[in-house]
Chain A
């Protein structure tokens, strides 16, 4: 197993489940023997605002946050948030983006426009860009809330951490009744990222 450290930045809109996805990722990394730090935002920003969660792991981690240009994998739960955080991706970094648009209030009110042909812009900017239909997959599983686990599955695959067993970690992090759909979503995400 490689002990190489990585920086993973999960971004999205408050309420999309970025914090839970990051929690599962960090708990898993700890159980595989990595040093892990994770930084999340609580409070006012959570109310439908732009949110970010930083996960860093390796032999030894000092800073809990990732600076611009240091991200190995940017996981965007919403397309426009991918654009906002793009400057954080390192030169050879990767983008995993959920194909979902959530209009912010300035767009709803007609004061600003949602960026046009965003998918094209993103895939042109980042050569390693993976678009995931996480919302659609979650709906097929029958629970729109497990969208975050579809994306997490994809991240785990792309990080090369899919050889490890994530089932126990998942079981401890989600409510018992929600375990099956979460596991299904996670496995689906891993497949989609192959």
Chain B
């Protein structure tokens, strides 16, 4: 059947057709929809794991036991899962094991632009790279076969444009396969030093075997065009940009099996063309290999290392053609940065912390990161998942060393807390941090688009399950119950009281906000007819409400206007208006 699918949908379909049994992931843009789609195929067990390391370990256990298994994560997620990754390379597989990695060239929704092809080289694992949705499906199936043929986990690397681009795909049916037999085999599966050393020899040998396999794999192919003097080696979406820009003016070596790099094939191709170009996004991964072989080529000497490529960039680099004349007015519009939504429950606490001079806020990965933009300007740092807590500990200790009396607030969300914030909190308690640890619990993994997490009480497959109690967890981590303040962030008075108590405390303190995300369907429905209105007789246009950074409140033609459609009557503006000019309207639905 011919359908139109995103790369992520096609990866899920490929896993299903390949007879995959177990799939695990932690959400992260641009990879999130892979597991969301896997969960729609009921033949597969699928789960949201608390973090990427757990996801890869769950998939590893399933593979060891004989099931075909996969996990999916964004590029920085593979850093979290790197520990099991490197050792699973030694262990290999029983049932096929595929690790889907989604890089983010252009940093659409990430904290760095790392190129995860280096993981293939570093962990000595094969890597496949599809160039469109059809290949996402086909390569996923090929990856399982390669995994079982060579007794190795396989990395399938996508990028944002592959994940979130749709293309026409021919789908097939599922090949049902039994879970393979499992026999206890510590020499294969228990990586004690003596076993692991023996395995390392095997890994090096496997790499050489896979190198000759890659040379003749149909995932790499040469497409010669008569009379074309330019030769292009390209992978991923870069191949599409090259085809678009150069068409039959070039010949192509399309790389789908990226690692081990098919050196002989490259040498054969290079001999047939006059000039050789390497078209790849971010790092000169293939280019470095080709140059090391002594083959002259062009690539990152002309094409950019940073950001995405495009057909225009390729055409300019290879042919010297400038892009067609666009339409210019000479007027630059103001920026439109992303914002916390109207009614976002993060806004209350962030507002209380904004402008506080005696406070430092270390942030984390999640919507609250948007609080570091004007007008709230709350947040000094964003490193990675969990660092909102652990960096706060170090920050506080350093300020104490410097003799500065400033309180450090570490801020993260519920999903981030379960992911890796909880270990930071344990460290804070045990090592006597005076910091304040804030969990903005909005009952969902919001930034990636509403996924369940260990606090929500529902699994990826839609079953009801235990919902972990965050305040109780904090208490179990050793925070004194008197130092745990649970507040409604829509209630500024209560929230301020908690902040004041935390400021005065000399021990590890926790603040948990407990309002669900305004975008959760039930919340949206319940609050759909609630809104705030402004009494223009009372309003003196002082602009206090604008300091909330709420997209529903604007100043237009000298008046403050509240748009009732996006407004959900969180009521923060009502509470801070010095003239009591704003009031709540409408009804709450059940």
Selected from A42, A49, A65, the residue in CB contact (under 8 A) with B336 is A49
- Complex interface: stretch among A110-118, A150-158, A160-168, A181-189: A110-118
CB of B516 to closest CB in A, whole Å? 17
Q: Identify which of B241, B323, B336, B375 contacts A13 (C-beta below 8 A).
A: B336
Chain B residues numbered 433-448 whose CB sits less than 8 Å from any CB in chain A: 447-448
B324 engages A64 (CB within 8 Å): no
Scan residues 15-50 of chain A and give those whose CB is less than 8 A from a CB of chain B. Answer: 26-27, 30, 35-50
B334 near A80 with CB under 8 A, answer yes
Stretch at the interface among B17-25, B160-168, B505-513: B160-168
Contact code string B307-345 (vs A, CB < 8 Å = 1, else 0): 000111100000000011111110101111111110000
Q: Given contacts A63-B310, A65-B161, A65-B310, are A108 and B340 in contact (CB under 8 A)?
A: no
Interface centre among B2, B310, B334, B341 (most CB of A within 10 A): B334
**Is the CB–CB distance between A108 and B546 below 8 Å?**
yes
Min C-beta distance of A60 to chain B, whole Å: 9
Known A14-B338, A93-B327, A105-B337; judge A64-B109 contact (CB<8 A).
no
**Number of A-B pairs whose CB atoms are under 8 Å?**
184
Task: Assess whether B456 is interfacial by the CB under 8 Å rule.
Answer: no
Q: Beta-carbon contacts of A86-101 to B below 8 Å, as 1s and 0s?
A: 1111110100000000
Is B401's beta carbon under 8 Å from chain A? no
Binary interface encoding of chain B residues 428-467 relative to chain A, with 1 for a CB under 8 A from any of its CBs, else 0: 0000000000000000000111000000000000000000
User: Are B311 and A30 interface neighbours, CB within 8 A?
Assistant: no
Q: Tell me whether A35 and B237 are in contact (CB under 8 A).
A: no
Q: How far is the CB of B519 from the nearest CB of chain A, in Å?
A: 10
- CB distance A68 to B336 under 8 Å? no
A105:B374 contact, CB within 8 angstroms? yes
B556 in the interface (beta carbon within 8 A): yes
B562 at the interface (CB under 8 A from A): no
A80-B336 contact, Cβ under 8 Å, with A38-B165, A44-B108, A64-B167: yes
Chain A's interface size range is: 35 or more
Q: A121 near B: Cβ within 8 Å?
A: yes
A109 at the interface (CB under 8 A from B): yes
**Whole-angstrom distance between the Cβ of A101 and the nearest chain B Cβ:** 9
Is B400 an interface residue, CB under 8 A from the partner?
A: no
Q: Verify if B471 is at the interface (C-beta below 8 Å from A).
A: no
Q: Enumerate B130-173 residues with CB–CB distance to A below 8 Å.
A: 132, 161, 164-168
Smallest beta-carbon distance A163→chain B, Å: 21
CB within 8 Å for A87 and B327 given contacts A67-B312, A105-B339: yes
- Cross-chain contact of B335 among A30, A65, A106 (Cβ < 8 A): A106
Once bound together, how far apart are the Cα atoms of A29 and B336, in whole Å? 31
B501 at the interface (CB under 8 A from A): no
Query: Quick one: given A26-B4, A69-B324, are A83 and B161 in contact (CB under 8 Å)?
Result: no
Q: What's the Cα separation between A106 and B373 when bound, in Å?
A: 10
> Would A37 and B166 count as touching, CB distance under 8 A?
yes
Smallest Cβ distance from B547 to chain A, in angstroms?
9
Residue in A26, A45, A90, A107 whose beta carbon sits within 8 Å of that of B108 in the complex: A45
**0 or 1 for each of B233-264: is its CB under 8 Å from A? (1 = yes):** 00001001101100000000000000000000
Whether B333 contacts A80 by the Cβ 8 Å rule is yes
* CB-contact partner of A108 in B109, B165, B313, B553, under 8 A: B553
| Interface residue B298 (Cβ < 8 Å from any Cβ of A) | no
CB distance from B422 to the nearest CB of A (A): 24
Q: Mark A53-93, 1 if CB is under 8 A from B, else 0.
A: 00000000111110111100000000011011011111101
**Interface residue from B2, B241, B333, B339 paired with A63 (Cβ < 8 Å):** B241
Given A62-B244, A105-B375; A42-B326 close (CB under 8 Å): no
Q: How far is the CA of A87 from the CA of B546 in the complex (A)?
A: 32
B161 touches A64 (CB 8 A): yes
Judge whether A84 and B166 touch: CB under 8 Å.
no
Q: How far is the CA of A6 from the CA of B108 in the complex (A)?
A: 26
Most buried by A among B327, B328, B448: B327
Cα A111 to Cα B311 in complex, Å, equals 36
B237 touches A64 (CB 8 A): yes
Contacts A62-B240, A112-B334 given; does A36 touch B168 at CB 8 Å = yes
| Complex: A107 Cα to B339 Cα, angstroms | 13
Q: How far is the CB of B31 from chain A (nearest CB, A)?
A: 10
B367 located at the interface, meaning its Cβ lies under 8 Å from any Cβ of chain A in the complex: yes
Bound-state Cα–Cα, A49 to B336, Å:
5
Who on chain B is nearest to A90 by CB?
A: B324
A178 interface residue, CB < 8 Å from B? no
Q: With A43-B449, A67-B311 given, can you name 7 additional A-B contacts, CB distance below 8 Å?
A: A42-B33, A43-B30, A45-B109, A50-B336, A70-B324, A80-B336, A91-B324
A-B residue pairs in contact (CB < 8 Å), sample of 16: A27-B4, A30-B3, A37-B167, A41-B108, A41-B164, A47-B340, A62-B243, A64-B240, A68-B324, A103-B554, A105-B373, A109-B375, A111-B374, A112-B334, A125-B328, A126-B327
* The 10 A-B residue pairs with the shortest CB-CB distance in the complex, in nearest-first order: A43-B109, A43-B29, A69-B324, A49-B338, A67-B312, A112-B334, A64-B165, A87-B326, A104-B336, A47-B338
